[in-house]
Amino acid sequence: MSAEPRPQQIHLSSALAQRIVDELAPAIQENLNLMDAQGFIIASSDATRVGTMHPGAREAAATNVAVSVYAETVRSGERPGVNLPLEYRGTVIGVVGVTGTPEKVQSLAPVLVLTIALLFERESELAGESRRDAADRDVLARLVYGSRPLDAIGSLGQRAPALAGPWVLVAGMVPAAAVGGVPGAAVFDSARVARLRGALGPYVVVGALRGVLWVLASGVERATDGRSAAGSGAGAALAERVSALLPGAAVVYGSVCHSETKLAVEANQLAALSAQRTTWLKPGVRAASSHLLHLAAAQLPATLTESLVGLLQDLSAGERETLGAYLATGTAAELSRSGYTHRNTVRRHLLTVTERTGFDVRVPEQAAVLALALAAQRAAGETSARTR
């Protein structure tokens, strides 16, 4: 994990240059030009000069020294003024020229150079973030929702820095109630995704797809904050960091994947689980393995789902609620102590469940069938809601 990002080729485009000139020109009294590193004027508040060669600018770019042009020494393509090199991270990328008597504009030119450098840096950061966001979303879409996830995993090694295994995948979802009914797609806007990406560092892929915020981290046994984290604890540690950055979100993490095949399987399972989010979604951090019942129910054949749901059709809403609560706690006494309802009501409901379904919750194998039936009913309801 010692690889460093490859330096990007720096280029001052004519479109960006003209946008900067248009933004600054109204605030100054003089004509403003931006030249490229070869001395050609690529943007100007005087449109007739765009595309012409400026000898003084070419000299300033070549020597990295300010060049003043006086009326008595002007050459073809020049006008009196001051031309200062424009640097970005130690490289001369162009020249800023201010037309006018050098003595008059020489104090203004350095301020303009500094301002333009800051604007260019900001534009470069935004462009770089946009490129990374597009690349991250592409990888995640192919990994989580694509038909050939191994291709997406293979592309991770071509990034800079390379994102080698072991990996862990995390999904963040925001309950609508937590954000005033705003869907996840609106909550995970580009600004929030960018902040999360910046906080987690270079060894992650972050993107919002279908209202879910996905985070894929590489080298997770060297935790993303530089501390040691091994085994499944690495997934929990990453999920906790994501949760801290996404207050109110339900964050689910997969197991640490040491192989590409395992990561592809985890991605498939988390995609299936996120599709059933309304059946289990609550704020907090959970392992995907704690929702295996939901996963199993979501992937049952339609005929089997229909049979399981049919077991519960004669139960009232209260009886189904009691059944679910009992299966989560294991005893009627515990359920009544939790304040859910009176013990006698719990027992009456459970007796009715046995009579109407033919399955006894006190028998582990039969209780498992009832638990799967409840999960299948929730999954069927989620599917129905998505297709309406």
pLDDT of residue 376: 83
**Rounded Cα–Cα distance for residues 290 and 122 (Å):** 43
Amino acid in position 266: E
3-class DSSP assignment, residue 280: coil
Tens of each residue's pLDDT in the chain, 388 residues: 334 344 445 567 888 888 888 888 888 888 999 999 999 999 999 999 999 999 999 999 999 999 999 999 999 999 999 999 998 878 898 999 999 999 999 888 899 898 888 887 777 666 656 778 888 888 999 999 988 899 889 888 888 788 988 999 999 887 654 444 444 444 677 778 888 888 888 899 998 888 889 999 998 764 444 443 334 578 888 889 888 888 888 888 988 999 999 999 999 888 888 876 665 677 888 888 877 787 777 778 888 888 888 888 888 888 888 888 778 776 666 555 555 566 777 788 888 888 898 898 888 888 888 888 888 887 776 554 444 4
Which structure tokens are listed for 347? 């027992």
**Rounded Cα–Cα distance for residues 281 and 160 (Å):** 35
Phi-psi region of 39 (alpha: psi -120 to 50; beta: other; left: phi over 0): left
**Rounded Cα–Cα distance for residues 67 and 95 (Å):** 10
Residue 161's nearest CA partner among 388, 5, 272 is 5
Q: What is the CA radius of gyration of the chain?
A: 31
Phi then psi for residue 212, to 5 deg, are -120, 135
What residue ranges define each of the domains in the chain, with the CATH number in brackets? 14-127 (3.30.450.20), 146-289 (3.30.70), 300-387 (1.10.10.2840)
Which structure tokens are listed for 213? 């915020």
306: how many CB neighbours lie within 10 A of its CB?
Answer: 12
Q: Label residue 294 exposed, middle or buried (CB < 10 Å: 0-12, 13-18, 19+).
A: buried
**Rounded Cα–Cα distance for residues 258 and 379 (Å):** 31
255's enclosing H/E stretch is none
pLDDT of residue 101: 92
Q: Label residue 132 exposed, middle or buried (CB < 10 Å: 0-12, 13-18, 19+).
A: middle
Under 8 Å between Cβ of 296 and 371 = no
**Rounded Cα–Cα distance for residues 206 and 230 (Å):** 22
pLDDT of residue 186: 46
pLDDT of residue 350: 84
pLDDT of residue 27: 84
Q: What is the dihedral of CA 292, 298, 301, 303, to 10 degrees?
A: 110
pTM recorded for the entire structure:
0.56
CA distance between the termini of the chain: 47
- Per DSSP (E only), the strands in 10-158 are 32-36, 41-44, 67-69, 81-88, 91-99
| Neighbouring residues of 207: CB distance < 8 A, sequence distance ≥ 6 | 133, 136, 137, 139, 140, 141, 193, 213, 214
Percent helix, strand and coil across the chain, each rounded to 5?
A: 55, 15, 30
Which structure tokens are listed for 229? 């984290």
